[in-house]
Structure 1
């Protein structure tokens, strides 16, 4: 299981590299990596376990964030806290590609954070409000799904990691809280 000490921090060159495409069938190491990426999210979203292992809660974790420059990330967007059941989105996305995105933009009103960035970076991170995502799962099955709002934002954040981009690269440096009229703020 990954712990906070396993998370690569801002400044490490691996976070700015273009990750390499993953080959199928997955090697034993890649299967273990996929498992551990998702396990971190599951454990970090359980309040008792999160405290026990001193984790920061996360909804996404990309392979470069644990020092592996491969096109793989886990995403676990839980359902609303009042609703029990299936997460809004849960999968290990391998070799993901955004094949289309909406013109309409969205951002989180509280801004974004990152397990690899220990400091608070205030500002809006404008992203597409809706995306169509193509990826492979751990078994090599291809998926093409449409995501909107928070799950779309989380997937874009993780895919950025695979291309050496960090969330704060998107923040307007001159006016971090600048709002365009067409931007929709999701949360």
Structure 2
């Protein structure tokens, strides 16, 4: 089981490395690791389990964050109260194939399981993205995401490219935002 102790923190060189493509068929270890990453996210969103296991809440976890420099990430974005998750999957070799002209940013900024401090500022990303990836069964997938889900996927794909969320923040004016940027609550 993955815990907070397995997650490497900012400053670790793996977080700045461009991860290697995953080859197919997937190894049993890659499938198992993806499942464990998804379980971590589900557990981190359960208040009782999160407290018991000392987990910080998360909606995405990329393999480089557990010191595996390979291109896969788990995502578990909860739905509204009592609703099914809006996105719950493991993506192998995810790739953004198209995106909107409009940009978006989270109203409260972004956080990261690998960053133990608050970094204030708007993280400007694309408001909508189309992503291709391969699932754990080796099937090609293509999904269109907008708003929060699009932001989460871009954050995780950044990890696969050695990019941290705060790299997107304007260091001179962290809360400066261009006209037309969608603010996601």
- Which bracket does the TM-score occupy, shorter chain normalised? over 0.9
Tell me the equivalent position of 2:103. Answer: 105
Alpha-carbon distance between aligned partners in 1 of 2:69 and 2:35, rounded to the nearest angstrom: 16
TM normalised by structure 1 equals 0.98
Q: What is the distance in 1 between the residues matched to 2:160 and 2:138?
A: 18
Unpaired runs of 5+ in structure 2? none
Matched residue SS, 1:2 = coil
1:68 alignment counterpart: 68
Q: Which of residues 153, 157, 167 is equivalent to 2:155?
A: 157
The whole-number CA distance in structure 1 between the counterparts of 2:93 and 2:77 is 19
Q: Provide the residue aligned with 1:33 in structure 2.
A: 33
Distance 2:29 2:85 in 1: 27
C-alpha distance in structure 1 between counterparts of 2:26 and 2:117, whole Å: 35
- Aligned ranges 1:28-177 → 2 under 5 Å: 28-81=28-81, 84-177=82-175
In 2, the alpha carbon distance for the partners of 1:79 and 1:85 equals: 5
**Gaps (5+ residues) in structure 1?**
none
Measure how far apart 1:85 and its partner are.
2.7
Count residues with an aligned counterpart: 185
The separation in 2 between residues aligned to 1:156 and 1:144, in whole angstroms, is: 15
Give the CA deviation at 1:6. Answer: 0.5
Query: In structure 1, what is the Cα distance between the partners aligned to 2:46 and 2:139?
Result: 29
CA–CA distance in structure 1, aligned partners of residues 58 and 72 of structure 2: 16
Aligned to 1:5: 5
Instruction: Tell me the TM-score normalised to structure 2 length.
Output: 0.99
Matching residue of 1:16: 16
**SS of residue paired to 1:68:** coil
Shift, 1:79, TM fit: 0.5
Instruction: Kindly state the Cα deviation for residue 86 of structure 1 after the two structures are TM-superposed.
Output: 1.8
